[in-house]
């Protein structure tokens, strides 16, 4: 997600003749963030691994600058610390995303959201645990498993701009998890201008509403092709977890006709048995009487 955090400090002057551009590569340090209380960014059941530094062909440096926290579509996403919100809206790679800046100037990046909490459009200030949005798969994650892409940019490394992202795993392992939270009705800002992206954003937002039981499904199956997903994410498709959504089966005309005919035949059979039973009994009585008369005559 090649966005540059707001450093808030003036960069050191550079000399064009002697300055050498820094090679973009993962960092091996995880500096302390401060004394604030931090909470895990996803509420409820979720899972993540240490994917920091893994290959990503579509971002600066071609390496993963954060962690992917996998959870169900619509799982609430919360502020990890007290602070302020900025850059809420659509990004070509991150989809619906936002940044949180805490009191110590550390910055946290949230991406691939399916929708937002209304508060992010009415107030810049948040407290740890406030709902910011919901897990999704917008942006270059579209068609893959829903997850939150989460980055940590410590204030000590903001001078490195986007390459100042550090491995979030150590922080995530120690932060307190929120088990449940009152989630507000989801909203979304202005949709992207690109028609395909608008369709994508609408579909993921509808998935969110269905997942939160705020509207009835199903969501039309319009997944992108595997080749398109690989091209957009820039990573081998075999290394990615792709979700498989079970769409409701549509009955064929034959099966629907069969479902109507079988009960009808069963009903006709019951009626035939009911009507035929007295006649059959009368016939049996007459045959038995004829048999007795025949025996009497023979005697």
CATH value at residue 101: 2.70.70.10
- Both structure tokens of 222: 């319009």
- pLDDT for position 290: 61
Question: Does a structural domain hold residue 5?
Answer: no
Q: Kindly report whether the peptide bond that precedes residue 218 is cis, defined as omega within 30 degrees of 0.
A: yes
266 and 170 together in one domain: no
Strands 147-153 and 107-116, how do they pair? antiparallel
- pLDDT for position 241: 35
282 and 178 together in one domain: no
- pLDDT for position 234: 47
Closest to 96 (Cα-Cα) out of 108, 87, 104: 87
- pLDDT for position 202: 97
Average pLDDT of span 214-225: 66
165 and 190 together in one domain: yes
Domain interval for residue 127: 47-239
Torsion from C-alpha of 137, 169, 28, 66, nearest 10 degrees: 10
Does pLDDT of 46 surpass 80?
yes
For 242-293, the pLDDT digits (tens) are 333 332 332 333 333 434 444 445 555 545 544 455 555 555 555 566 665 6
Q: For residues 17 and 123, which has the higher predicted lDDT (pLDDT)?
A: 123
137 and 194 together in one domain: yes
Sign of CA dihedral 36, 41, 47, 52: negative
Question: Does a structural domain hold residue 191?
Answer: yes
Q: What is the mean pLDDT of the chain?
A: 79
64 and 211 together in one domain: yes
Alpha carbons within 13 A on the beta-carbon side of 78: 25
pTM equals 0.70
Q: Confidence band (pLDDT; 50, 70, 90) for 240?
A: very low
Q: Is 55 within 8 Å of 195 (Cβ atoms)?
A: no
Q: Which residues contact 184 (CB under 8 A, 6 or more apart)?
A: 117, 118, 119, 131
145 and 281 together in one domain: no
Q: How many domains would you assign to the chain?
A: 2
Question: Does a structural domain hold residue 105?
Answer: yes
Question: Does a structural domain hold residue 280?
Answer: yes
279 and 232 together in one domain: no
- pLDDT for position 5: 78
Q: Is 98 within 8 Å of 126 (Cβ atoms)?
A: no
Question: Does a structural domain hold residue 12?
Answer: no
Question: Does a structural domain hold residue 80?
Answer: yes
């Amino acid at each position: 997600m090649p966005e540059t955090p707001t450093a808030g400090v003036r960069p050191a002057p550079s000399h064009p003749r002697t300055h050498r551009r820094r090679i973009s590569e993962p960092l091996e340090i995880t500096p302390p963030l401060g004394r604030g209380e931090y909470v895990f960014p996803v509420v409820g059941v979720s899972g993540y691994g240490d994917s920091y530094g893994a290959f990503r062909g579509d971002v600066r440096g071609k390496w993963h600058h954060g962690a992917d926290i996998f959870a169900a579509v619509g799982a609430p996403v919360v502020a990890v610390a007290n602070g302020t919100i900025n850059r809420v809206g659509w990004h070509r790679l991150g989809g619906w995303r936002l940044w949180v800046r805490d009191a110590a100037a550390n910055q946290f990046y949230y991406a691939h959201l399916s929708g937002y909490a209304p508060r992010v459009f009415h107030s810049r200030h948040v407290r740890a645990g406030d709902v910011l949005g919901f897990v999704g798969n917008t942006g270059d994650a579209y068609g893959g498993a829903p997850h939150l892409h989460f980055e940590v940019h410590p204030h000590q490394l903001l001078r490195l701009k986007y390459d100042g992202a550090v491995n979030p795993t150590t922080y995530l392992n120690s932060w307190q998890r929120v088990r449940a939270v009152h989630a507000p009705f989801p909203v979304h800002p202005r949709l992207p201008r690109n028609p395909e992206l608008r369709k994508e954003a609408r579909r993921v937002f509808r998935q969110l509403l269905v997942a939160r039981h705020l509207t009835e499904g199903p969501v039309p199956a319009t997944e992108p092709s595997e080749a398109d997903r690989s091209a957009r994410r820039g990573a081998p498709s075999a290394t990615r977890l792709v979700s498989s959504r079970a769409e409701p089966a549509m009955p064929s005309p034959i099966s629907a006709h069969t479902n109507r005919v079988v009960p009808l035949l069963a009903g006709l059979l019951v009626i035939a048995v009911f009507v035929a039973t007295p006649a059959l009994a009368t016939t049996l009585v007459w045959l038995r009487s004829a048999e007795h008369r025949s025996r009497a005559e023979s005697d």
